[in-house]
Amino acid sequence: MWQLTAGSAVLGLVLAAGAVALAGPWDSGQRKAERDWAAAQGRTGGAHHPGGHPGKPAPAPSAAGVLDELAPPVESLSAPADLPDGLRKTLGPLLESPDLGPAPAASVVDVATGKQLFGERADRPMAPASTIKIATAVAALSALGPDHRIGTTVVTADDKAKGDDPTEITLVGGGDATLDRKRLRALAEDTARALRDRGVHEVALRFDVSLYSGPREHPIGPNDNIAPVTALMNGQGRLDDSARDSFGGPAPRSGDPAGDAADVFADLLRERGLKTSGPPVMRKAPKDADRLAVTYSRPVSALVERMLTNSDNDIAESLVRQTAIKAGRPASFAGAQQAVQAELKEQKLPVGGALLRDGSGLNRHDRITSGLLTALLARAADPDRPELRPVLTGLPVAGFSGTLQGRYTDADAITGSGMIRAKTGTLTGVNSLAGTVVGPGGRLLAFAFLAEKAPGPDTAQRALDHLSAELTS
C-alpha cells in the first residue's frame, strides 16, 4: 500500500480539532486568531481557499494557523501496538448488529501510514449511496484543480445592430449547478451594458446547452433530490421560491431547467430596457461568436465543500461532467463514469470492483468498497496533495453541520458529536458513513462503513453513529 508521511497525522489532528469551527459554530475553543482569520474572509461553507497557480495549490489555511497550538510533536503520535486488536474487539460485535443488514463492510485506516487497522469485507464492492461523493470530490479536485471556476457566458456573432433586425445573442450554459437569480441579474446587467455600447436595443435570445450530452434524466427518474442534468439552470430548477436559493435539500424540480433559466434571463434583460423578439429558443452558439458577458461559479474547492456538507446531488453531477470535459470525454453519465474512474486509477487508488455510474450516489447500481473510501480520505490528508484538502474540510461535523446536524444524539454515540467529520449515504435499504476521527494515540483515522438490506434507515443510522463514535475512545 502506498505510504503517507507522519505529517498527515499532524494535519489530521489540526483539522479534527478545528472541525466545529470550520463548520460554523465559533465558540468551540478554536484559537482567537483562527476565528478572526475566518471572519475576515466573509465566506461560509468551510475553509478559505486562496487563488494561485492551479498547478501549485496553497496548503489549507486552517492547518497553518493552529499547527503550533494544537498539534503535538509527530513523535508523540505513535499508535498503540494493540490498537488493531482493540478495534477488532470493539467494532467486530457492533458490525454483527441486525440493524446493519446481513453483511456490512468496514475499513479503518491509519492516515499517517496508509495501514489498514481494521477491515471486514473491505474489498467487497457495495452500494455507497452518497458516500460516492468523496470519489467525485477527489477526482474533480485532482483533474480541475481547486481554483477552477465554471463560467456561464453570453455571446453574439453580430458585430453591430442590423437596422430593424434584432441582434441574436446566446446564453451558453457551462455546467454551473450553483447559478442563481442573483448572478443571472448581474450577467444581464453586464450584457445590457455591452449591447448598449454597440447601439443594440432589441435582441433575439437563444440558449445553448450543447456542452452536455446523453440523457438529461438521472436513472432514478423525476425526483425532488435532483433536477434534470443540464448545462444551464437557475436555482437547480427548484420551483419553490423559498427553496430556490437554499440548495442542498429536496424540493420540487422543473422538467426544463435550461428553458426556465433562459426565460428568467430574458425577463432580466427586459427590466434593463432591452426588447426581446419572442421567447428564448434553444440553439447552439455560433463558433465565431464574441463574448459579451460572463459570470463564474465559486472555485471548485468551495463547490466540493458545499457538495459534501449538504450532499448536493446537482453539484455532484456537475463536477463529474467537468471532470469528463477536462479529460476530453463526453459530458454524460457514461463519459463522467469513465473519466472519474480513470482519474482515480491514475492516482493509484484501489478502484478494483468500483462502478461509479453517477457522481451523486443516487444510482443504485453504483458500487464502491469501504477500502477505496478510506484510501480516498487518506489521500485527501496527504501533505503532498493540499489541493485535496476540501474533501476533509467539506465533511459534515457530527451533531453540528450539514447532513450530520441531527445525528449522534443517542447515549452510545454522543462521544462522537463534534469529534467526527463524515459523509453520509442513504437509499432505501442502503446506509453508509465515511469520514475521519482522531483516535487513540492521537492518530488520525479514516473510516468507512457500508450496509445493505438494513431493516430500517433510522436504526441503521444509529448503528453507524455508534460504530464511528467508538473510534474516539
Strand partners, 450: 105, 432
Q: Closest Cα partner for 93 from 430, 473, 466?
A: 466
Q: Tell me what pLDDT residue 316 has.
A: 98
Q: Tell me what pLDDT residue 298 has.
A: 98
Strand partners, 237: none
Whether 370 is catalytic is no
Q: Tell me what pLDDT residue 230 has.
A: 98
Give the residue carrying C-alpha cell 445592430. 161
Strand partners, 293: 154
Give the pTM: 0.85
Superfamily of domain 151-297: D-Ala-D-Ala carboxypeptidase C, peptidase S13 (3.50.80.20)
Choose, from 8, 62, 107, 133, the residue flagged as catalytic: 133
Strand partners, 436: 421, 446
Choose, from 97, 130, 254, 301, the residue flagged as catalytic: 130
Hey, do 7-146+301-470 and 151-297 end up sharing a CATH topology, with the first three levels equal? no
Ranges of each domain in the chain: 7-146+301-470, 151-297
Residues 6+ apart with CB under 8 A from 299: 49, 51, 146, 147, 148, 149
**Inter-CA distances, 22 with 25, 131, 349, 425, Å:** 8, 20, 28, 22
pLDDT in tens, the chain (473 residues): 333 333 433 344 344 444 333 333 222 222 233 333 333 333 333 332 223 333 333 333 333 332 333 333 333 344 566 788 999 999 999 999 999 999 999 999 999 999 999 999 999 999 999 999 999 999 999 999 999 999 999 999 987 656 678 999 999 999 999 999 999 999 999 999 999 999 999 999 999 999 999 999 999 989 999 999 999 999 999 998 665 555 657 899 999 999 999 999 999 999 999 999 999 999 999 999 999 999 999 999 999 999 999 999 999 999 999 999 999 999 999 999 999 999 999 999 999 999 999 999 999 999 999 999 999 999 999 999 999 999 999 999 999 999 999 999 999 999 999 999 999 999 999 999 999 999 877 889 999 999 999 999 999 999 999 999 999 98
- CA–CA separation, 435 vs 133, rounded Å? 12
CATH of domain 7-146+301-470: 3.40.710.10
Whether 130 is catalytic is yes
Q: Tell me what pLDDT residue 81 has.
A: 67
Whether 246 is catalytic is no
Choose, from 311, 360, 370, 432, the residue flagged as catalytic: 311
Q: Tell me what pLDDT residue 440 has.
A: 77
